[in-house]
Chain A
Amino acid sequence: EIVLTQSPGTLSLSPGERATLSCRASQSVSSSYLAWYQQKPGQAPRLLISGASSRATGIPDRFSGSGSGTDFTLTISRLEPEDFAVYYCQQYGSSPPDFGQGTRLEIK
């Protein structure tokens, strides 16, 4: 089982700033099979990125994903007020499809 560790636990930034969220895997994620999700309070998660770097339909281009092997990054280039939420990574290169514990992005 692959364990995903997200850092930081909480990130405090202001609108307009750049956000960099990290997801580290305990072993290599096969074929960069890593996804990122956004979850706002009281809402279901929403898919942002799959395959480490492919944006899902309708996701703004200020969201980008990168990485391979054991280290992956979600970058939000210029934060909008609606981007403050919790972000989860999930690997699907091996069974079971586990999630990281999440990074809370809060307004500074």
Chain B
Amino acid sequence: EVQLLESGGGLVQPGGPLRLSCVASGFTFSSYGLSWVRQVSGKGLEWVSTITGSGGGDTTYYADSVKGRFTISRDNSKNTVYLWMNSLRAEDSAVYYCARILNYGGNRYFFDYWGQGTLVTVSS
């Protein structure tokens, strides 16, 4: 059974850093890409970042809204993907979901399994 478990969310001051983690199980981790998708309370879904699997050369992609502030990485030995978030803003407050992707080449994929999410609140 595919499982994704996020952690690392919490309250952080504007301008501060935070690191999210997503531990995966139930599939060959290195072969799959993973993404972070966020959702502001009561609002829709926003794709944030993706790192491809070994077949895609661990290529990374970012939404324009986070480019230069967020970094995605993976540790295949720990079955874990990370989202390093810097220079956080109030508008980054959201539930952050980790999702596995089925890749159709480049930055084209859909999300077949999702974690339960971790809440990030940026406030002073």
Q: Is A95's CB under 8 angstroms from B106's CB?
A: yes
A97 near B97 with CB under 8 A, answer no
Write the residues of chain A forming the contact surface with B, with a CB cutoff of 8 angstroms.
31, 33, 35, 37, 43-47, 50, 56, 88, 90, 92-102
Which size bracket describes the interface of B in this complex?
Answer: 20 to 34
Q: How many A-B residue pairs have CB under 8 A?
A: 62
For A102, what are the chain B residues with a Cβ–Cβ distance below 8 Å? 44-45
Q: Is the CB of A97 within 8 A of B102?
A: no
B14 within 8 Å of A (CB atoms) = no
Known: A33-B104, A44-B117, A92-B104. Contact between A97 and B45, CB under 8 A? no
Residue of B nearest to A98 (CB): B47
Are B45 and A45 in contact (CB-based, < 8 A)? yes
The 8 Å CB contact of B111, one of A47, A94, A96, is: A47
- Please report the C-alpha to C-alpha distance between residue A61 and residue B109 in the assembled complex, in whole angstroms: 23
Assuming A44-B97, A45-B45, A101-B44, is B114 touching A96 (CB within 8 A)? Answer: no
Question: In the complex the two chains form, is A97's CB within 8 Å of B44's CB?
Answer: no
B76 proximity list for chain A (CB < 8 A): none
Q: Which residue of B lies closest to A36 (CB)?
A: B110
4 closest cross-chain pairs (CB), A and B: A95-B107, A44-B114, A35-B110, A99-B45
Q: Are A99 and B112 in contact (CB under 8 A)?
A: no
The residues of A that contact B9 with a CB separation of less than 8 Å are none
Closest to B110 in A: A35
Contact of A88 with B47 at beta-carbon distance under 8 Å, contacts A95-B61, A95-B106, A97-B108 already known = no
Are B107 and A47 closer than 8 Å at their CB atoms? no
Asked whether A99 lies within 8 Å of B97 as measured between CB atoms, the reply is: no
Interface string of B105-123 (1 = CB under 8 A from A): 0111111111111000000
Contacts of A56 in B (CB 8 A): 112
| Alpha-carbon distance between A56 and B100 when the two chains are bound, in angstroms | 14
A93 near B44 (CB under 8 angstroms)?
no
Contact indicator A94/B108 (Cβ below 8 Å)? yes
Q: B46 on the interface (CB 8 Å rule)? A: yes
Contact check: which of B44, B61, B108, B115 meets A92 at CB < 8 Å? B108
Q: State the CA gap A107–B45 with chains docked (Å).
A: 23
Query: Nearest residue in B to A99 (C-beta to C-beta)?
Result: B45
